[in-house]
Amino acid sequence: MRLLQVSAEIYPLLKTGGLADIAGALPAALATAGCDARVLLPGFPAIRDGLRDGQPIGQFSLPWGETVRVLRGTLPAVPGAEGSPVHAYVLDAPGLYDRPGNPYEDAQRRPYADNHRRFAALGWGAAHLARGLDAAWTPELVHGHDWHAGLAAACLKFTAGRPVPVVFTVHNLAYQGLFSADVLGELGLPVSAFQVEGLEFHGQISYMKAGLYYADRITTVSPTYAREIQTPEQGFGLDGLLRARRNELGGILNAVDAAVWNPATDALITRHYAADQPAGKSRCKAALQEEAGLAVRKGAPLFTVVSRLAEQKGLNLVLAGIDSLVQGGGQLLVLGSGDHALESAFAHAAQRHAGSVALRVGYDEAFAHRIFAGSDVTLVPSRFEPCGLTQMYGLLYGSLPLVRAVGGLADTVVDADLATLDDGTATGIVFASFSEADYRHAVRRALALYRQPRAWARVRQTGMQQDFSWTQAARHYRAVYLAALQIPSRASS
């Protein structure tokens, strides 16, 4: 089965969040499941420069007259990963993509004014490849990720040729790619696409809605999120459409790339360790405390955050709980960047509690690995969370996740209560309502559990033994592809 994955980011070349981790791991996982998956990416500098053996295979014109060259090459392998290199198509369009820094925003954190063009190009690129731009390889199915790839489904729908099924995955419904109706003429789509039964959303053009409306199948990145987005509370105005499409919508839980995230082999951490040999973790913790400027105290439970600093992540709860966390003997380390108000609030807390609270502003992949390795508790108290990867990294690295019961967090962490401690299924601390009181209570429970070393060690070991491998997820995706292609899974497996 030949598949084209369409994504704006991909690990290890360009990453602003979990989308990149998933886009990076999925092609290899699908190959193991018997699919021939290639990727299509915008030619952001990091992606164009990282492409190996890039060769032009063709070009196409965009509706506003600009020409895009398409390069074909391979992606650099992740160290330790097995299997053959992943083939990638990259849109070489310096006028659209050659800008330093964040792929979506300028230095003032304003979305680029021509984002509608930058990601229409991605949609049209997918459509041209599906219509045979590369004579040597034509996908049978297109799989787009998030709003950046949303237009692909519409472009395919409105171009002549045999139907090519599209699967569209929602990684985060909060980011929708909304543009003024005035730019419709630039997109090369018929005026008839601009209606409620199409990509119109409250008078604007929505790339997310284009994906949701025109795709043959929709997936989200956890089963709980697939249900949540069908409600007005979490549907961002699209819940009606999602309810109408519920029979074509399902959740496939994200997985973890074991070549990148495994404390027994991770080249970025101080000492290796594993569920049955946890000794190295305390060395990682001491090294992390020292590196972060925290007091090197073995017995102080170290709570950590590795996150975009954004409203979604519920970090105002962490701020509100700092005093009681520190009074309870805990330490807090935050690695993140984004919202300036959150940055300065954490910086202020770090000043107030020098030695117990530390902040590192920025994006630092290697430091993130050292944090999971050295940390005791991974905090993810999100307002909403389509899947969340850091709680899974926390689990596998023996850092108990403390999470709110929402989205993929609810699907991946088992709260430590008397029953789950007794039957050995507990893996972390889960709290229900998005309130300071509930969050503080969860922190108190984590501190209390930490004071019971045997119970703590057991919960940690259960977490480290969780199976988040890609095998299962890849099988589920394959089943969705077969359904979109209308091939009965039994016959073709």
Query: What residues make contact with ligand ADP under the rule CB under 6 A?
Result: 17-19, 21, 306-308, 335-337, 363-365, 368, 387-390
Among 116, 118, 148, 171, binds ligand GLC (CB under 6 A): 171
* Partner from ligand ADP, ligand GLC, none binding residue 218, C-beta < 5-8 Å depending on class: none
* Partner from ligand GLC, ligand ADP, none binding residue 307, C-beta < 5-8 Å depending on class: ligand ADP
Residues 21, 74, 134, CA angle at the centre, nearest 5°?
115
Query: Of the listed pieces 18-26, 128-136, 333-341, 372-380, which binds ligand GLC according to CB under 6 A?
Result: 18-26
**Measured in Å, how far apart are the chain's first and last C-alpha atoms?**
11
Residue nearest to ligand GLC (CB): 18
CB of 274 to ligand GLC, least distance (A): 25
Among 3, 4, 6, 22, binds ligand GLC (CB under 6 A): 22
Residue whose CB is less far from ligand GLC, 172 or 304: 172
CB of 472 to ligand ADP, least distance (A): 18
What does residue 486 show for φ and ψ, rounded to 5 degrees?
Answer: 55, 40
- Among positions 399-428, residues that touch ligand GLC (CB under 6 A) are 408
CB of 58 to ligand GLC, least distance (A): 31
Peptide bond into 12 cis (omega under 30): yes
388 near ligand GLC (CB under 6 A): yes
Query: Of the listed pieces 71-79, 181-189, 325-333, 386-394, which binds ligand GLC according to CB under 6 A?
Result: 386-394
Among 4, 19, 288, 396, binds ligand GLC (CB under 6 A): 19
Helix (H) or strand (E) holding 345, with range, is: helix 340-352
CB of 148 to ligand GLC, least distance (A): 12
CB of 227 to ligand GLC, least distance (A): 15
What does residue 428 show for φ and ψ, rounded to 5 degrees?
Answer: -175, -160
**Strand 200-201 to strand 204-206: parallel, antiparallel, or no bridges (unpaired)?**
antiparallel
Residue nearest to ligand ADP (CB): 18
- Among positions 278-317, residues that touch ligand GLC (CB under 6 A) are none
368 near ligand GLC (CB under 6 A): no
What is the spatial distance between Cα 450 and Cα 447, in angstroms, rounded to a whole number? 5
DSSP code string of 356-421:
TEEEEES--HHHHHHHHHH-SEEEE--S--SS-SHHHHHHHTT-EEEEESSHHHHHH--B--HHHH
- CB-neighbour burial class of residue 418 (10 A; exposed 0-12, middle 13-18, buried 19+): exposed
389 near ligand GLC (CB under 6 A): yes
What is the spatial distance between Cα 195 and Cα 190, in angstroms, rounded to a whole number? 11
β-sheet bridge partners, residue 378:
304, 401
β-sheet bridge partners, residue 467:
none
Among 123, 177, 386, 394, binds ligand GLC (CB under 6 A): 386
* Tokens matching residue 400: 């108990």
* Tokens matching residue 374: 């050295």
385 near ligand GLC (CB under 6 A): yes
The contact set with ligand GLC (CB under 6 A) reads 17-19, 22, 171-172, 221, 254, 385-389, 408
